[in-house]
Amino acid sequence: MIQQELQKSAGSKFDAADSNKDGFLSPEETAASLAKLQAQKQTTFSADDAKTQVNRVKNRMKNADENEDGNVSKKEYQSYMNNHQANFDRNGDGIISKDEYRADSEKLPSNYRKK
């Protein structure tokens, strides 16, 4: 995957979760989005695996909330995801291989917070 594709995907996911289109994800919008994600994942994965994936996204959202006001702005989300995705590309070639992507799962979501 190319980093630009991941950035575009992250932006699309934010926009889909931002139901009132105000540029922020409220706790209610985040909860609704996570419930929808869990229902979708349970059609493909076991309930435990779906829950694990949802918890991973939930942690990303929590860590993206840079000012800790309970809402995630699109700017906060994009900044967090850009840092998150930049760490995938271990060899710096602009392409994220499956091995690079899998190696990233060892990191904690808080590692991608803006320093």
pTM (2 decimals)?
0.75
DSSP 97: -
Report whether 94 contacts 70 (CB < 8 A): no
- Predicted pLDDT at 84: 78
Return d(Cα 87, Cα 112) in angstroms, integer: 8
> Mind listing the pLDDT tens digit for each residue in 42-71?
888 888 888 888 998 999 999 999 999 999
Q: Is the confidence at residue 114, as pLDDT, over 50?
A: no
**Where in the chain are the domains?**
3-108
- Predicted pLDDT at 9: 86
Q: Which CATH number fits domain 3-108: 1.10.238, 1.10.287, 1.20.140, 1.10.1060?
A: 1.10.238
